Amino acid sequence: MDRSATVGTGLTSGIAMSSADNPKLKEIVEAVAREIVSTDHRAGGSFIRTPLMYPGGATVVVRVDQGDNRFFVSDVGLGYQEAELMGAGSMYVKPARVIAEEAGVRFDNQAFFVLEASRDQLPGAVVTIANCSQHAVMRASDALAEKTFEDRKSRLYDKLVGVFERKVVKKNVEIIGASTQKWPIATIVTLHGHRPTIFEPVTKHPNSVAHAAMKFGDIALLKQDAPHRVAVVQSKAELGKLLTILSRSADVIDDNETNDRIRRLAMAA
């Protein structure tokens, strides 16, 4: 039977062949399944290496210990350790407690665990603990990203206060764009006799650039009432083609721009 016609993609019949026709493929798939889930029996215990990954790529590992016809399942604090290695250890415990409660498992401020699982419950317990451990590290990672951006906003404010008088620099304000959408703005400098100038940190992540471009574009449509807009990035050179998008609706400067140039930008408004 010509399976490629059935598939309708123009693929060669070799690629469209199922494992029924290709015992070699079946062997390969079986081998891959054994590679992505494996066991490790060491002096410290018996471990299952799951296919789940922490954000940095490390695989999630769960330990199983046996009591009298009952099993103890735990991530032995490996999720917490992963968060610590990322620099997000202090952001791990709070979401981890919530995750444990939602999943109906326990958490002792470092490790997720199921105290007693029967043999029948063991696979589910292993998967649940692995999921909790992964989820908690992902939440800590998100919190770390958020804090990093907040730190940049704080540093920008401190820099502007160093360039201008504190009373002309405002942080965390809102500006209503031409669409009537309210946009949060990190910092705005208002010099006497000049239009206000927005200084907004933007990362090189495409989502950050897209969001900033959308915000600046809507504000620019206020025309003569629009504040001057300046995007502050870590490195213009690293933005690549994203710089073109950003520069359509804002001036773009580096984090380490000179005070003199910043002053001139605000006074050009």
**Cα separation, 172 vs 225, whole angstroms:** 20
251-254/228-233 β-pairing: parallel
Q: Which stretch binds another protein (CB under 8 A): 3-11, 78-86, 122-130, 186-194?
A: 78-86
Q: What are phi and psi of 55, to 5 degrees?
A: -55, -30
Q: Which stretch binds another protein (CB under 8 A): 102-110, 119-127, 192-200, 245-253?
A: 102-110
The minimum distance between CB 135 and another protein, in angstroms, equals 16
Out of 151, 172, 173, 210, point to the residue binding another protein (CB under 8 A): 151
Q: What are phi and psi of 229, to 5 degrees?
A: -120, 130
The minimum distance between CB 201 and another protein, in angstroms, equals 12
Q: Which residues pair with 99 in a beta bridge?
A: none
Contacts of 1 (CB under 8 A, 6+ apart): none
HEC per residue, 138-179? HHHHHHHHHHHHHHHHHHHHHHHHHHCCHHHEEEEEEEECCC
Out of 86, 103, 127, 220, point to the residue binding another protein (CB under 8 A): 86
> Quick check: 49 binds another protein (CB under 8 A)?
yes
What b-and-e string marks burial along 11-24, b requiring 16 or more CB atoms within 10 Å of the CB? eeeeebeeeeeeee
Q: What is the dihedral of CA 231, 235, 240, 243, to 10 degrees?
A: 10
Out of 11, 25, 36, 268, point to the residue binding another protein (CB under 8 A): 36
Nearer to another protein, 30 or 238 (CB): 238
> Quick check: 224 binds another protein (CB under 8 A)?
no
45-53/251-254 β-pairing: unpaired
Out of 110, 134, 187, 197, point to the residue binding another protein (CB under 8 A): 110
Q: What are phi and psi of 248, to 5 degrees?
A: -70, -25
Nearer to another protein, 160 or 175 (CB): 160
Out of 8, 10, 44, 240, point to the residue binding another protein (CB under 8 A): 44
> Quick check: 217 binds another protein (CB under 8 A)?
no
> Quick check: 144 binds another protein (CB under 8 A)?
yes
Out of 121, 154, 190, 247, point to the residue binding another protein (CB under 8 A): 154
Distance of alpha carbon 248 from its chain centroid, rounded? 27
Q: Which stretch binds another protein (CB under 8 A): 12-20, 47-55, 92-100, 167-175?
A: 47-55
Q: Which stretch binds another protein (CB under 8 A): 95-103, 180-188, 217-225, 234-242?
A: 234-242
The minimum distance between CB 81 and another protein, in angstroms, equals 6
Footprint on this chain of another protein (rule: CB under 8 A): 35-36, 38, 40, 42-45, 47, 49, 53, 55-61, 76-78, 80-81, 84-88, 108-111, 141, 144-145, 147-148, 151-152, 154-155, 204-205, 234-235, 238, 255-256
